[in-house]
Amino acid sequence: MSLLITGGAGFLARYLLREPAMKNRKVVVFDRHAPKVEAAPNVVCVAGDIADYGQLEKAIKEHNVDGIVHLSSIMLSEAAASPHEAIRVNVQGTVNVFEAAIKLGLGRVIWASSVQVYGSKSFYYPETWVDETVFKQPVSLYGLCKSFCEDVASFYKSHGLKATGLRFSTIYGYGRKTGSNTYLCDLIEQAARGKDVTIPYAEHNNNLIYVKDAARAVVHCLEAGGKELGETYNICSEQLYTNREIAATLQELLPNVSVRSESGKFGDRATPYTKHTAAERDFGFRIRYPLREALSDFIAEVQASPE
């Protein structure tokens, strides 16, 4: 039996595949760009379009798949720029995964939702932090897609679907090339390669989660086995860092590089800050990489990789 990972050539999936728990599983990477994945002996790469149900079902049957980690997604800014493609991938692709899981009698589906389902921070005033019990009010197309898919998963539950959606906050780390915080990852990478940088929007608060913690959250769900899990969980750091704090910490770690911060307004806070209390309670998820540890590991990842 094997585990299928959609979006397996993407940012989060690449780190998930490096998790020790993945080494003992047969894994099927399903992605349009699957041939570009550096496959380990236990990994099979299948090129396919998540929005094409026939291709997905064929891969599941041919490789005796019994569980799915669904990470295929068009991210926030890209979704706004290409709404038709975002709906095709984020909605139709996710519904295909749910449908295949029911039709083919698969086990648990773990899939990437987002804190974008909550909508604007202003909706929750004066509350600063929210958990999974609050009412969803998405405003971005990305958030609308994820919210709808959560509702579809809830509907399919009565048909036998076992799905757990992970509402990730902003994931960062070496190799991120899409999404709203790409600029920050780019600047951290430049500094790690010895270049002087200025990080803008100094006062902007970030509810970040390091990519290795995000990957571990997926592993925790996989290792829950037959334990009954909730339908959705926030996966976040529960700590806030301004860009000024990120710049100062980066400067401490890289004393031979100039790392400055510059005041400016990034924009209104798009989402409220989220808690991962339920994830810690139900499957033992805890943060291993607060800011300093995350940046130190980020730097090590960069310096171990060619330019």
120 in any annotated domain: yes
118 in any annotated domain: yes
More confident of the two residues 225 and 57: 57
* Cα 235 from Cα 170, distance rounded (Å): 9
The number of distinct structural domains making up the chain is 1
121 in any annotated domain: yes
**How confident is the model over 237-286, as pLDDT tens digits?**
888 899 999 999 999 999 999 999 999 877 655 577 888 899 999 999 99
258 in any annotated domain: no
Task: Give residue 27's pLDDT.
Answer: 94
What mean pLDDT value characterizes the chain?
A: 92
- Most trustworthy range by pLDDT among 39-43, 196-200, 235-239: 196-200
Question: Of all residues in the chain, what percent carry a pLDDT higher than 70?
Answer: 97
| Domain carrying residue 164 | 2-172+210-236+270-287
Task: Give residue 146's pLDDT.
Answer: 97
DSSP-derived letter for residue 45 is: E
187 in any annotated domain: no
123 in any annotated domain: yes
Residues 6+ apart with CB under 8 A from 67: 1, 3, 4, 106, 107, 108, 109, 110, 222
More confident of the two residues 271 and 216: 216
Instruction: Please state the pTM of the whole predicted model.
Output: 0.95
Lowest mean pLDDT among 57-61, 102-106, 121-125: 121-125
3-class DSSP state of 190: helix
61 in any annotated domain: yes
What is the CATH classification number for the domain harbouring 34?
A: 3.40.50.720
76 in any annotated domain: yes
